[in-house]
Amino acid sequence: MKKQRYILQTLLIFPALSFLLSCSINQKQSDVQFDLKEISGRNPEITRLTDGKGFDGPVLQVIPSGEKTSVTVWEKGDKGSWADAGYFVFEIYGDNDYSGVITLELFKKNTQRQEKVVLQSGEPAKSGDETPWITCLLGINPALPTKVVFPLKYLDVQEIFLPRSPRQLKGTISGNRLDPSDIEKVSLRFGPYSKPYFTPVFEIASVQLADSLPEPYAPLAEPVIDIFGQRKGKIWPGKITNEKELASLNQELEKSVSGSGFDKAFSKYGGWKEKKFRATGFFRTEHDGKRWWLVDPEGYAFLSVGMDCIRATSSGPVTGIEDLFEWLPEAGDSLLGETVSENRGMKNVDFYKANLIRAFGKDWKKHWSRMTAGMMRNLNINTVGNWSEISFARENNLPYVLPLNRFPVTRVQIYRDFPDVFSDEYRKNSVEFASQLKDYKDDPYMVGYFLRNEPQWAFGYHNLAYEMFATDMASATKEEFVKWISEKYGNNLMSFNSSWNLSLGSFADLGKMVFKDYPSVRADSDFYAFSEIMVKKYVDVPCDEVERVDNNHLNLGMRYAWISSDLLYKAGERFDVFSINGYGYNPPPTDEISKRSNKPVMIGEFHHGAVDRALPATGITGVISQEQRAEAYRNYIEQGFARPELVGMHYFQLVDQPYYGRFDGENYNIGLVTIQNIPYTELSEGMKITNGRIYKVGSGHEEPYKAEITKIPPIHY
């Protein structure tokens, strides 16, 4: 009411502003609110209108069941134009003790074969008998009213991770380009659901198409995060209650691992003293007739059991959500000021670093490095994995893998992050990319380098050459395609037109075409054949350059998120080791990868999380407890190393993620240690046992551990 009175007064005093204000008001009036009563009538099995708990006033209560978890919120013919709006917004509250996973599903009327929508689990995304054209996983924290925002410009799926809005957690898109006018139906799927473990209840206060970003909520009356970065309102074993306890536990940990070394059967690099090959002074690969091995610089057989993200940080943005916190440090603080930083235009706070400072004072980094290196050796973790502080590995003489930075890009992007690979710009940038290896090429502790991580063009099955023609943007790669297709058809335009159901006047006209659908089945296969050529070029150009700079170390590939299509095998021909990130209770089907690539395989990431302690989300693979996290780790590593093609597996990650979400909104219980730097005892003990057995299991001298793990739906976004 105060705002409305102010506007009326302004209009009376400043008539000249009336036109501008009326434009603003009209724009707001064009927002389209969906009718909750209509939505409930369309989905009576799991919804009802009732008074809100998380909101004032009536809400749409959603109670998913084993038979139904989705709610249709819009169908073609309902009011609202997706083509004219800027954002899809819904207000939600999860009356649960764990995070909500809300899947936005957008459907298109199929006129012909649809591209596969493949998720990170490797399974196709489905909705009953229907397959959504686009899916977007969206995360919310428990018991926190949240305005979830989906910017409609992301319907082109050129970016797969959404920007964060206040209180909203991570958003991840899968699928194919979708013209807003082609949307037939929109649903929200509510999870996780798995009786008796997860039986969630949600409240929806509003659903709308909006022209602009929504206004933030008023500040909370009571904060939900304490001074240690812990969730308030929940008690669990090991929750820190005061600074003295925090310091004591950290100092005891440092003392307990001080001077630790690898198992006595391990070499100084963490290799196996009982099996030796030719030494070269650097890591390499060898097949002994039974299995693949890495070989350490001294010639000992080596299987890489690693830990990702070994770094003294676990921060997240606090801009726009300051009211969630009991306390936040100031940048000018003489002791805790270094826990504050700027990232992506937002203020970030690092409670992990703050807790280390509370425990050890100004020399905290020295203590952290010594303590963490001792912990790695004590647990027989012989590799510092991706995203880690390389200085930490080098200072402590630990083998490490190097993630190369700035994979070559070009001004023109063909599809998502796929560059214009036939351009001179791509080769030039590849030369610069390779130059960073000069500082590492003589280091015996470096196992090898990853060219990049999880290319976004490989998130799902995508015919890259076809996607290149979704716009009329010119590129060297498109020119090469026109040249290639004309040669493929022997420059016979009539034959080409017949095969593609076109009527072009010349092959050059093809370069100006835009395709919304495949013109023919033959066109589909032709596009895919050239996609293979594109991917080969994508890999060959930078691989040529890195090999010129560094012939000493292993090319470990690109850490694909999963095998989403056969194009990834084509992209593995130049690697020394084929790397993939493999989330699940067991490693992915690496036998097929090795057979098709003729290479050993390394898993760059896996993890298991639970919601029985501080954090409300499990990560990509969920288990029911910390005890089962340990069981799952043991099962994964030992079953994996029993395979002759697997030479490395790296756990993601050292430290839990912040409750309020890291930069992209992940807030998973996946750490070896908490945000307070306290190890999870169950997981630590399991790691030590299994990591000490890897060589006996890998050589076939001992049977791998097999655990019975309760499978639950993961809470990840």
Asked whether the beta carbons of 641 and 590 are under 8 A apart, the reply is no
Tens digits of per-residue pLDDT, 431-459? 999 999 999 999 999 999 999 999 999 99
Q: Percent of the chain at pLDDT above 70?
A: 93
pLDDT at 219: 98
Averaged pLDDT, 220-227: 98
Q: What does 593-662 look like in DSSP terms, one character per residue?
A: HHHHHTS-EEE-----B-SSSS-SB--SSB-SSHHHHHHHHHHHHHHHHTSTTEEEEEES-SBPPPTT-S
Place of tokens 């009538």: 41
pLDDT at 17: 31
| pLDDT band at residue 109 under the 50/70/90 scheme | confident
pLDDT at 16: 36
Q: What does the chain come to in residues?
A: 717
- pLDDT for residue 338 is more than 50: yes
Tens digits of per-residue pLDDT, 249-287? 999 999 999 999 999 999 999 999 999 999 999 999 999
Structure tokens at 159: 């970016």
Asked whether the beta carbons of 708 and 635 are under 8 A apart, the reply is no
Structure tokens at 16: 């000249």
Strands 168-175 and 134-140: antiparallel
Q: Which of 404, 315, 150, 415 is nearest to 664 (CA)?
A: 315
Which residues, 6+ apart, have CB-to-CB distance to 583 below 8 Å? Answer: 120, 121, 562, 605, 606, 607, 619, 620, 621
- pLDDT for residue 118 is more than 60: no
- pLDDT for residue 20 is more than 60: no
pLDDT at 124: 54
- What's the rounded Cα separation, in Å, for the pair 630 and 491? 62
Is the preceding omega at residue 653 within 30 degrees of 0, hence cis? Answer: yes
Strand partners, 462: none
Q: What is the DSSP letter of 217?
A: P
DSSP run (H or E) holding 116:
none
pLDDT at 108: 95
Q: How many CB atoms lie within 10 A of CB 79?
A: 11
Q: How many CB atoms lie within 10 A of CB 143?
A: 16
pLDDT at 406: 98
Structure tokens at 201: 């209840």
Dmax of the chain from CA atoms? 89
- What's the rounded Cα separation, in Å, for the pair 321 and 707? 41
pLDDT at 12: 35
- pLDDT for residue 15 is more than 80: no
Averaged pLDDT, 486-492: 99
One-letter identity of residue 703: E
Q: What is the DSSP letter of 127?
A: B
Scored b (16 or more CB within 10 A) or e, 461-470 reads: ebbbbbbbbb
| pLDDT band at residue 115 under the 50/70/90 scheme | low
Q: What are phi and psi of 337, to 5 degrees?
A: -60, -30
Burial (CB count <10 Å: 0-12, 13-18, 19+), residue 29? exposed
- What's the rounded Cα separation, in Å, for the pair 291 and 280? 20
Q: What is the pTM of this model?
A: 0.93
- What's the rounded Cα separation, in Å, for the pair 305 and 107? 42
pLDDT at 24: 33
Q: What does 214-269 look like in DSSP terms, one character per residue?
A: PPPPPPPSS-SB-TTSPBSS---TT---SHHHHHHHHHHHHHHHTT----TTB-TT
Which residues, 6+ apart, have CB-to-CB distance to 701 below 8 Å? Answer: none
Averaged pLDDT, 56-62: 98
| pLDDT band at residue 130 under the 50/70/90 scheme | confident
Q: Which of 247, 274, 452 is nearest to 364 (CA)?
A: 247
Dihedral angle over CA of 697, 698, 700, 701, nearest 10: -50
Scanning 306-446, the segments in alpha helix (DSSP H) are 351-360, 364-378, 390-395, 424-434
CA 525 to chain centre: 30
Tens digits of per-residue pLDDT, 622-676? 999 999 999 999 999 999 999 999 999 999 999 999 999 999 999 999 999 999 9
Strand partners, 58: 51
Asked whether the beta carbons of 149 and 168 are under 8 A apart, the reply is yes
pLDDT at 472: 96
Q: What is the DSSP letter of 338?
A: G
List the beta strands (DSSP E) in 244-353.
272-276, 284-287, 292-295, 300-302, 304-307, 316-317, 340-343, 346-349
| pLDDT band at residue 149 under the 50/70/90 scheme | very high
Place of tokens 């280091």: 443
Is the preceding omega at residue 64 within 30 degrees of 0, hence cis? Answer: no
CA 672 to chain centre: 19
Q: What are phi and psi of 158, to 5 degrees?
A: -80, -20
* CA-based radius of gyration for the chain: 27
Which residues, 6+ apart, have CB-to-CB distance to 47 below 8 Å? Answer: 39, 40, 60, 61, 62, 63, 71
- What's the rounded Cα separation, in Å, for the pair 246 and 249? 5
Q: How far is CA 434 from CA 384, 546, 549, in A?
A: 22, 5, 7
Structure tokens at 469: 């023609």
Q: Which domains does the chain have, with CATH numbers?
A: 28-210 (2.60.120.260), 255-385+573-698 (3.20.20.80), 413-554 (no CATH)
One-letter identity of residue 564: S
DSSP run (H or E) holding 554:
strand 554-555
| pLDDT band at residue 120 under the 50/70/90 scheme | low
- What's the rounded Cα separation, in Å, for the pair 637 and 709? 14
Q: Percent of the chain at pLDDT above 90?
A: 92
Structure tokens at 559: 């850490």
Averaged pLDDT, 689-698: 99
Asked whether the beta carbons of 387 and 560 are under 8 A apart, the reply is no
- pLDDT for residue 336 is more than 60: yes
| pLDDT band at residue 26 under the 50/70/90 scheme | very low
Asked whether the beta carbons of 428 and 422 are under 8 A apart, the reply is no
Asked whether the beta carbons of 592 and 680 are under 8 A apart, the reply is no
Strand partners, 33: 208
One-letter identity of residue 130: E
3-state class (DSSP) for residue 281: coil
Scanning 271-378, the segments in alpha helix (DSSP H) are 351-360, 364-378
